[in-house]
A and B are shown apart, each in its own frame.
Chain A
Amino acid sequence: MYRLLPVRVLIALIFLSASIFSCDYVEYPYTPPTPVNVNSDTVQKVRKVILEEFTGHTCGNCPTAAKSATGLKNIHGDKLVLLTIHEGFFALPQAPPFTYDFRTATGTAYGSFFGVIQHPMALVNRIDYPANNHLKTPGNWSSLIDSLLDVPVEAFISMENDFNEATKILDCNIRIDVLRPLTGTFNLVVLLMEDSIQKAQIDYDVPNDTVQDYWHRHILRANITGAWGDSVLTDPQEGDTLLKNYSYSVPADFKGYPVHTDQCFVIAYLYDATPPAPTYRILQAEETKIK
């Protein structure tokens, strides 16, 4: 003889079953873009976020992430600074057409320091370091950038560049305006970025997995200050200003690939380097063409 299931167990199971039968079917996933007031007026002191994306030319999933980053740039305009760092296994020169080398000592140092073992991954203002979830996948970028842009700006960076075509000397004049009192030590990093270089790239979204004339965007080419920058501010007060000038000789080529100076930018950012445990959080970023 079989006993009936105890009523209370049945009720509990039915209740639990009902609660889990939840499925959200999405029949039309595309939604209209959220209206964003893209403000390109750099005089207005707004928060600017930097997304440092780690990539490589044989990383077949990276072009999709790059498109995602470009899409976000289209939405946020000047409020978002993109920097693409070629490093790690996927950036190693390989058999043709992947013989070129976009790696830099600075990029390798960043990849190693921030523990990049997967691509594509990005740092968004380097937040969540050292909690060990600082490396963000593309699906996280948008909401993170939105939330960071909502935070009142703490310091503002303005920049003017003067590039001498004859001598190839770049003079970079940077001004930092502190808008809120800050505690700690802050470093300024200045980098050279070259945008839009056409070279081959593995892309798993195309039939034969290779795009011969892929447009590489926002490539880290060199550092002007050093990978970890110069210590420029300690416990600054609201209203403090700082002027820094850097002079840099732009080389004719990087690892055999000629530099197109009309596609070069200077990127500067300020980050928290307070000893003994810097958070590396980036407070503000800025980018300006060298000419």
Chain B
Amino acid sequence: MGTLKRLLSSLLFFYPLVCLSQTITPGEIHSDIQVDAQYYRDDSAIGATSVPENILMNSYLNLLYSRGPFSGGLRYEAYLNSIQGYDTRYSGKSGIPYRFISFAKDELSVTAGNFYEQFGSGMILRSYEDKGLGLDNSFDGVRLQYRYNGLQIKTLAGKQRFFFSLGPGIVRGIDTEVSINEFIPILRDSSRIRLILGGSFVSKYQTGTEVVYLGYNLAVPRNVGAWSARGAASIGKLNLSGEYCYKINDPGDFNRYIYKPGTGLLLTANYSGKGFGIFFGAKRIDNMSYKSDRTALGTDLNINYLPALTKQHTYSLLAYYPYATQPNGEIGFQSEINYKFPKGTLLGGRYGTHITVNCPSFNGLDTARYPASDDTLNRLGYSSEFFGAGKLFFNDFNVEVNKKISSKLKLNFVYAYIIYNKDVVQNLSGYGTVYAHTGMIEGIYRLTSSHSLRLELEHLYTLQDDGSWAHFLAEWGAGEHFYIYAMDQYNYGNKKPEKRDHYFSCGITYIKSSTRISMAYGRQRQGYYCAGGVCRYIPASNGITLTVISSF
């Protein structure tokens, strides 16, 4: 009898919910998961070491739920312990560092919790996540976004993620963007001319009014503001854009507590026609590291992002000397021309030939340091010529040719001459500048409709640093779901004979639907992984790696 009563009570309790579930749609839920695991072995020849845990693992799970105007999500992360090369401040930690709820209706959108945001090109505000870099500077706070015809206004306030806690500073910002076409009747329906203007203001707040630095007591600002103005125009096939930003005095460990204002300028122009495109970009950065903690260093707690203006090579040896943006000062440009020789011409052949010539170049600023005796009042640190260039940081002249030979064979060629100031880019001393010639040839041959073979040969020639390298890779696309590869990199030109090592590895990848599973075994050389001008050092390793990525 008692059991029956409890059953009836339960039914009565859940009855309203059952009714409710019949009238309200359940919404949608999406998820993705990624697991990166690595088993480490000792390999003294390349300086690789095993780890007491034997296996290190980074894991991520994203959940996103949306229903009508509401959406919410979270990300669970676990670093048990973190893979070598990741910041050890992640190690041993797990939790939910990212969660949010959002409401979007008509012109208004509100987000509470964690969010990523970018104002303009990001030079005064950009939060983003990159698992490859181990970087996540999401905001935890509130964001309000309003779109009204050609007008978009974004405001936000929040603290930034700092591993599994929050940074000490509070960031506030507003961004406005106006599509001029919407406000000028003759341009409103024009598809040939588009004009956009925008502006942003960001301020960070951090407690503390005084620090001791070099034995001096220094008054430091609690509120540091930065603004930017930008514009973009597209006229037919020509696109122009530009952004200028300015930051007031922002002394911190990252700039050795100088009070010089920061500035940044980014200009780009590109023209694209049929079979032909040209791009030119120029950038000047001066003391524009902007962090929500004045004691932060490296990539910690960056409020802004300084866009990369170099080509991100994807082939292994071509990416051996990647450039990292120098937030304390750099000036440079990138130009690129691409052209497709039409089919049926001498150089175009039967299928046409695509050629790209790219050349980024970056120098330090032309600066003059104020002698300490002359800088006792304002502590500005140095003066800089706006158009002056100092020592060369990086130069990359590269040519890429893509040629389809037949319906089954496609060839790609790349040559690059890279000048790389290793001391500056990697913040080291004693390595000097590296001059490297790198060539790459890749052939992709389709054996059947589901089988293919890819061969990749690369060679890096240099007399500096670790000397010359050779690289070979063979990959077999075995059916619809499997890829199997073997590769070797040989540092045959190392000045130290005992360092002339082979880095052999092989692996298999299974792809089906939205699931990808990869397993590889072998050596991995030490080096820098860079994305968007931000880099992470990866130590040499020997072992087995496993990556699982899936979504639904």
A-side interface residues toward B, CB under 8 Å? Answer: 2-3, 5, 9, 12-13, 16-17, 19-34, 58-61, 64, 67-68, 70-72, 74-75, 89-90, 94-95, 98, 115, 117-118, 132-133, 136-143, 202, 205, 207, 209
Contact = CB atoms under 8 A, between A and B. Distances in A.
A71 B216 contact: yes
B212 interface: yes
B294 A139 contact: yes
Interface in B186-233: 201-203, 205, 208, 210-225
Nearest to B163: A132
B87 A117 contact: yes
B148 A20 contact: no
A115 B88 contact: yes
B429 A209 contact: yes
9 contacts: A23-B203, A25-B248, A68-B214, A75-B215, A115-B88, A137-B253, A139-B257, A141-B212, A142-B213
B220 A16 contact: no
A31 B248 CA distance: 20
Contacts of A133: 89, 165
B107 to A, nearest CB: 8
B225 A22 contact: yes
B100 to A, nearest CB: 19
B112 interface: no
B221 A26 contact: yes
B146 A94 contact: no
Contacts of A140: 295
A71 B298 CA distance: 24
Contacts of A75: 212, 215
A94 B217 CA distance: 36
Given A26-B219, A137-B295, 7 more contacts: A17-B155, A20-B174, A24-B224, A29-B251, A68-B212, A132-B88, A142-B213
A3 B148 CA distance: 9
B19 interface: no
Nearest to A32: B217
A140 B211 CA distance: 8
Interface in B84-102: 87-89, 91-93
Interface size band for B = 35 or more
Interface stretch (B319-327, B376-384, B414-422): B376-384
Given A132-B89, A137-B297, A98 B430 contact: yes
B211 A139 contact: yes
A26 B212 contact: no
B12 interface: no
Contacts of A32: 217
A13 B108 CA distance: 12
A138 B251 CA distance: 13
B217 A64 contact: no
Interface string B420-433: 00000001111000
Given A9-B146, A20-B201, A140-B295, A64 B214 contact: yes
Nearest to A134: B89
A24 B223 contact: yes
A139 B295 contact: yes
Contact of B208 (A16, A31, A143, A207): A143
Contacts of B91: 115, 132
A71 B108 contact: no
Contact of A29 (B89, B294, B295, B378): B378
B218 A31 contact: yes
